[in-house]
Amino acid sequence: MSSAGLAGCTSSVPIIGDGDGASGPAVENWLADLSFSALFDEDELSDEYDDAELEESDQTGFEFNTVVPQAVFDNEEDLLLYWPLEQGSGLRSRAGVAATDIDWQLTQRVEWEYEFSYTETAWGGEQTYDEERQTSIEIGTVAGAFDPADVEDNLEDWAEDQAVDDEELSSEGEYEGFDLYEFETHAFGVSEEYVVEAAGGQYLDLLEALEVAIDVRTTSVGGWSETDDGEALLAQFDSAHLAEGELHEPRSIESAIENQYGDIDDMSDWQLEELEEEFEDRLDDWELELVGSASAYEFDGDTTDVQEVYLYESESDADADELRDHVESNRDIGDDWATIEDLSIDDEGRALVLSGRVRTRSLL
């Protein structure tokens, strides 16, 4: 599912409200604004590369999703499948927590590109090299009522099954009411109400990322909603049973070409000209300069309330008429907006907010 309509263009987003509840978590209380430089472990890098130094980094992607499992079960005849529960299944499995036993789950993923330099000694003396890498980190949270001892036992069993050379799940103390654990590329925080996991991220401090996420919940400091784009996107959102969202670089013909074919500076003039003509036909005017999107779905039997937020680089790029033209021209079966009713599009600064009601089965 994606936010350029229910069938696909850009990806969707969250759930927001005054607090966590039956319609899902208040994502502003959980989404963390992770700092790459604060998480990056140069000492670990230097163990592999001599005199390694981080030169620069750039966040290239941010996305998140949430779901209320009970709402899926309550509307299973209309959803047909349990596909919304596929997200977060890895964390539930590791913690030994069933989807039927949780209130909601949330996953946040952040991606970066970074460059570092290092030296190697050869016959000709020392030589300095630059290398570019990509990395990411995912933070998952499930909410409910848990026995921390049972969750610890389940994590130990999982780690034992995964272990190489008799490695074990390690206890890392306590932080803000959470018992902390670590195993290879995973870190966990366990309390009676939440299980939080940070995973992935070569050379990234997973325990630090976990604590940042916990801090957002306990102190409301360091949240993604404090960033310019995060605040602009989430300010327009309400809680819902299923939600997704993302930020990305401004959408343009040039960025679309580079995403598919690589750096346009490496292309000849005639190649670039042909591709520009091709991508002009692919991108609609309403998509240009789009930097993020968010979608929230509230199930109600055979119909679902939908809210979409489209965030643009500037207020002048947010053209409600272009978006409305796109929606109204994609209303046949198989199109993005085939079943939408009660359509409204509001202009909120550099964001456009689309609301309506769709047939639940059209979400597939």
Instruction: Tell me the per-residue pLDDT of 172-200, one tens digit each, with 9 for 90 and over.
Output: 999 999 999 999 999 999 999 999 999 98
Residues 261-301: pLDDT tens digits? 777 777 777 777 777 677 677 778 898 999 999 999 999 99
Confidence band, pLDDT 50/70/90 cuts, at residue 1: very low
Maximum Cα–Cα distance across the chain = 74
Confidence band, pLDDT 50/70/90 cuts, at residue 5: very low
CA–CA distance, 57 with 247 (Å, rounded to integer): 17
**Contact at 8 Å (CB) between 133 and 56?**
no
Q: What is the pLDDT of residue 14?
A: 33
Q: What is the mean pLDDT of the chain?
A: 87
- Quote the percentage of the chain above a pLDDT of 90: 62
Residues 343-362: pLDDT tens digits? 999 999 999 999 999 999 88
Q: What is the pLDDT of residue 13?
A: 33
What are 41's two structure tokens? 């472990």
Find where tokens 């936010």 sit: 3
Q: What is the pLDDT of residue 106?
A: 95
Residues 128-156: pLDDT tens digits? 889 999 999 999 999 999 999 999 999 99
- Using DSSP, how many helices (H) and how many strands (E) does the chain show? 11, 12
Confidence band, pLDDT 50/70/90 cuts, at residue 20: low
Q: What is the pLDDT of residue 22?
A: 60
pLDDT above 70 for 209: yes
Strand intervals (E) in the chain: 53-67, 102-122, 125-144, 170-175, 178-183, 186-190, 194-200, 242-247, 290-300, 303-312, 341-348, 351-359
CA–CA distance, 115 with 99 (Å, rounded to integer): 40
Q: Give me the mean pLDDT over the 73-95 stretch.
A: 89
Confidence band, pLDDT 50/70/90 cuts, at residue 330: confident
**Contact at 8 Å (CB) between 154 and 80?**
no
Q: What is the pLDDT of residue 116?
A: 94
Residues 24-34: pLDDT tens digits? 788 888 999 99
Q: What is the pLDDT of residue 303?
A: 94
In sequence order, what are the residues at sequence separation of 6 or more whose Cβ sits closer than 8 angstroms to the Cβ of residue 67? 24, 84, 85, 87, 88, 104, 105, 241, 242, 243
CA–CA distance, 305 with 339 (Å, rounded to integer): 12
pTM of the predicted protein model: 0.86
**Contact at 8 Å (CB) between 198 and 210?**
yes
User: Residue 185's closest CA among 202, 167, 168, 164?
Assistant: 202
pLDDT above 60 for 19: no
The 3-class SS string of 149-163 reads: HHHHHHHHHHHHHHC
Residues 160-169: pLDDT tens digits? 998 787 789 9
pLDDT above 80 for 204: yes
Beta-ladder partners of 117: 53, 130
Confidence band, pLDDT 50/70/90 cuts, at residue 23: low
Question: Is the model more confident about 67 or about 266?
Answer: 67
CA–CA distance, 75 with 303 (Å, rounded to integer): 10
- Burial pattern 57-78, b for ≥16 Cβ within 10 A else e, equals beeeebbbbbbbbebbeebeeb
User: Residue 248's closest CA among 27, 65, 10, 38?
Assistant: 10
Going from the C-alpha of 60 to that of each of 63, 88, 233, 235, the distances in angstroms are: 10, 22, 17, 22
Q: What is the pLDDT of residue 263?
A: 75
Q: What is the pLDDT of residue 9?
A: 34
Domain boundaries along the sequence of the chain: 32-219
Find where tokens 């643009």 sit: 312
Confidence band, pLDDT 50/70/90 cuts, at residue 122: confident
